[in-house]
Amino acid sequence: MESTPRPHVDGEADMAEAVHALELTLPLVLRPLARVAYNYWWSWSVEGRELFESLDPALWERTGGNPVRLLYDLSVARSEALAADPAVVARVQALATAFYAAMHAPRVASAEAGRSVAFMCAEFGLDASLPLYAGGLGVLAGDYMKEASDQGRPVIGLGMLYWEGAFHQRLDGQGWQQEYWLELEPERLPAALVTRADGAPLIVHASIRGRRVATRVWRVDVGRVPLFLLDTDLPENTLVDRWITARLYVGDRETRIAQYALLGVSGIRALRAMGITPDVIHLNEGHAAFASLELVHDALEQGLSFDDALAAARERTVFTTHTPVAAGNDTFSETELHDALNGIPEQLGFAWDQFVSLGRVRPEDRSERFGLTPFALRMSRAANGVSRRHGEVSREMWREFWPGRDVADVPIGHITNGVHLPTWMDPHMQRLLDRYLPADWRNRAADPTVWEAVEQIPADELWDARCRMRANLVSFVRDRSVWDRLGRGTSTAYAELAARLWQPGTLTLGFARRIATYKRLYLLAMDQHRSVHLLNGAQPFQVVIAGKAHPQDDEAKRSVQGFFHLNAQEAVGGRAVFLEDYDLDMARRLVAGCDVWVNLPRPPFEASGTSGMKSMLNGGLQLAVPDGWWEEAYDGMNGWVVDGGFSHDPAEQDARDAGALLDLLESQVVPLFYNRDVAGIPHTWVERIKASLRTLGPRFNTARMLSDYAERYNAGVGVLSGPPLA
Ligand SMILES: *Cc1c(COP(=O)(O)O)cnc(C)c1O
């Protein structure tokens, strides 16, 4: 039986119950921690992470930084000792007060702020303790949610709870990536199962692959914004259907399309069952595009004609594309589509052929596969790319939709990505800015005048903060590199090599992101001889590299392996380190500690890139190809552009860019870093950091990004319009 819609069945009471159950296990004075533990707000408050970790550092690490698990697993002796410590009790109270204040902070007031948004995405990267993300797309979705909470916008998130999450990475003795998965145990996550008024779990159904698939819903609180996660791991489902929400981005296409059907169709049904009717459905990438089917259904139920229902569904939907290569957009054969959706479109009043044609660029061309992006473009009121450059690329890619129009008039806009400042700016940096920026700078992060005060920061203080952040990273890299190497069965001498040679005062470069071939990790070592020579020069530098290749992407795995073999040489292995199992926690440490953040995508394949923005917020300088965000960010003073010039031949382009990279390192980056005054301060370097923070800080954060989405996009003020329907 389908759950009856009724208001306020949105898991809020379930969350309160979960909090209460945890409270009962804690001494009275520690009980305020239970509510904070069940709200990911803690992860972006300066005090939250530090406090939870300090309760029991070893246990914190064993629980993967999950505060609910930590509090449940605290020994009685430990919690009694903590409760008896007045300093701990004072910190608990301060955290609870800060949490209360954040939950009741003023909300942005503007005309469009009242439009409620359901933000749908296949992945959400909130924190390492909730591994439901693979890379930039998920982290962006997580950052969007956090910013929506800070601004008090009426947003909810909708995604999936993969009970084995995303994969973890190990390299074997040959440097080949191996994947493994760990079960998440949702009961021990900061999540509450959504139940109906009668206490039974809220279940929605959809027909997927011809079977009725039951889905339950988990609620995760992200500050003031709830995230709802679908989960088919229920005994009434077949094992194959339970597998739908097992893993993020499974390789097998049949499961993948089932995931998309679930996210789109069951997702909208779950919202309806919870009594939630968002004004705007925001499809963050095409994975959730089948939501449109259910939106049409909604409109038909209200008595609209089919054409009007289609128009009404489009009117509610906006779409952000993230993929600048045609091959990166999921497409399916008509048979795959038919097997997965079995009957759904027809039930909703679509003739099958009509439905399929909506997913083709050329509707009548039966040889064209059904694409999620074309379908999403057709079924949305507005669409955008995620950087200026990506906007241009997207208009070019999809111009066929608007025959006869100039490419510049193709109505796909762009809203450049940003990152969530409190998540990504290290506490050292935040505390420094607290001293020199206007008191309310955190709430005005998108205001350029606020950032002008960066120029007032004394060079020695800024440099001191940078050195502390680098020193923290160096100690992390030393430890992790020993474990990683021992785990691969290397000699002890080699395992300890980087731990011996890495120094807190050495120029530190970072390169960390999903390892995909277009990200061109191999450029770092194309001219091996020269790279090795530079690494070990009189003015040395050290490099940390991290990232996962998609399990099916053997080419990317080979590029990791190539680096691995190079790294086995002693002259390299001491200064260059590959850290396994890149995740949000490692990313936070890397972007805070690295002096220079390297990004070498093959243009124009980087839609935006966000890790560089995170580094920028911490005073890292960018050494990057002018693609994605960097193309619109670089102004000559705020970092460096690696540009070997254009070539039609990829190999030639690689050689040029690799050369340009080493030229810049040798002639500018390295000398500038080591050019010190008598007090040891590199003044020109510090000037660059200031220029970077001042010019980029206000632009590449989610405060600016969310305002852009709200004002230019969700409000529907007629800037953009979808393509004609087939
Ligand atoms: C920011 C981030 C990414 C995205 O980095 P890009 O530079 O956009 O490739 C990927 N993974 C993690 C864990 C991140 O924090």
pLDDT digits (tens, 9 = 90+) for 648-670: 999 999 999 999 999 999 999 99
Query: Does residue 7 have a pLDDT over 60?
Result: no
Nearest CA to ligand 1 atom 1: 611
510 membership: H or E segment, kind and range? strand 507-512
Beta strands at 211-222 and 203-208: parallel, antiparallel or unpaired: antiparallel
Give me the pLDDT at residue 8, please. Answer: 64
Residue 138 Cα to ligand 1 middle (Å): 9
**Alpha helices, H only, 187-316:** 239-242, 253-261, 267-273, 291-301, 306-316
| pLDDT above 60: residue 190 | yes
pLDDT tens per residue across span 315-337: 999 999 998 887 778 899 999 99
Tens of pLDDT along 386-431? 999 999 999 999 999 888 899 999 999 999 999 999 999 999 999 9
For the chain, the average pLDDT equals 93
Atom of ligand 1 nearest to the CA of 519: 9
Q: Give the angle 649-323-175 at the CA atoms, nearest 5°.
A: 70
Closest residue to atom 4 of ligand 1, CA basis: 136
pLDDT reading at 112 higher than 90:
no
Average confidence (pLDDT) over 684-702: 98
User: Cα(135) to centroid of ligand 1, in Å?
Assistant: 5
Ligand 1 centre and the CA of 136: distance in Å?
4
Question: pLDDT class for 721, splitting at 50, 70, 90?
Answer: low
What pLDDT digit, counting tens, does each position of 113-126 carry?
568 999 999 999 99
Q: Percent of the chain, pLDDT > 90?
A: 86
Is pLDDT above 80 for 718? Answer: no
Whether residue 6 is predicted with pLDDT greater than 60 in this model: the reply is no
Q: State which of 566-570, 631-635, 706-710 shows the largest mean pLDDT.
A: 631-635
Average pLDDT over residues 634-644: 94
- Taking alpha carbons only, the member of 256, 254, 323, 268 closest to residue 122 is 256
Joined together, the tokens standing for residue 374 give 């074309």
CA-nearest residue, atom 3 of ligand 1:
136
- Residue-wise pLDDT for 210-243, tens only, equals 999 999 999 999 999 999 999 999 999 999 999 9
Q: What is the pLDDT of residues 553-588, one digit of tens each?
A: 999 999 899 888 888 888 888 999 999 999 999 999
What pLDDT sits at residue 593? 98
Q: Tell me the residue length of the chain.
A: 726
Give the number of the atom of ligand 1 that is nearest the alpha carbon of residue 586. Answer: 13
At residue 189 the predicted structure's pLDDT band, cuts being 50, 70 and 90, is very high
Q: What is the pLDDT of residue 132?
A: 97
Rounded Cα distance, 374 and 331, in Å? 9
pLDDT at 692 > cutoff 80: yes
pLDDT at 714: 73
Alpha-carbon span 71 to 67, nearest angstrom: 6
Measured by CA distance, the residue closest to atom 8 of ligand 1 is: 609
Separation of 612 CA from ligand 1 center, angstroms?
Answer: 9
Q: How far is CA 351 from CA 342, 348, 373, 631, 724, in A?
A: 13, 9, 20, 44, 18
- The predicted structure's pLDDT at residue 194: 98
Query: Which pLDDT value is given to residue 724?
Result: 61
Mean pLDDT of 633-639: 96
**Arithmetic mean of pLDDT, 367-382:** 95
Distance, CA 102 to ligand 1 centroid (Å)?
A: 27
Could you give the CA distance from residue 708 to residue 315 in angstroms, rounded to a whole number?
19
Q: What is the pLDDT of residue 723?
A: 63
Q: Give the pLDDT band of residue 111 (cuts 50, 70, 90).
A: low
φ/ψ (deg, to 5) at 661: -60, -50
* Residue 164 pLDDT exceeds 90: yes
Distance 72 CA to ligand 1 centre (A): 31
pLDDT at site 110: 65
Q: What's the CA-to-centroid distance between 567 and ligand 1, angstroms?
A: 23
Q: Is the pLDDT of residue 3 over 60?
A: no
Q: d(Cα 230, Cα 159) in Å, to the nearest integer?
A: 6
Q: Which two structure tokens, joined as six digits, stand for 676?
A: 């010190």
Average pLDDT of the segment spanning 266-281 = 96
| Tokens (6 digits) for 345 | 């479109």
Cβ pair 202, 2 in contact under 8 A: no
Nearest atom within ligand 1 for CA of residue 628: 8
- Residues in contact with ligand 1 by the CB-under-6-Å rule are 135-136, 139, 513-514, 582-584, 587, 609-611, 614
At 48-99, the pLDDT tens digits run 999 999 999 999 999 999 999 999 999 999 999 999 999 999 999 999 999 9
pLDDT tens, position by position, 69-81: 999 999 999 999 9
Cβ–Cβ under 8 Å, residues 175 and 565: yes
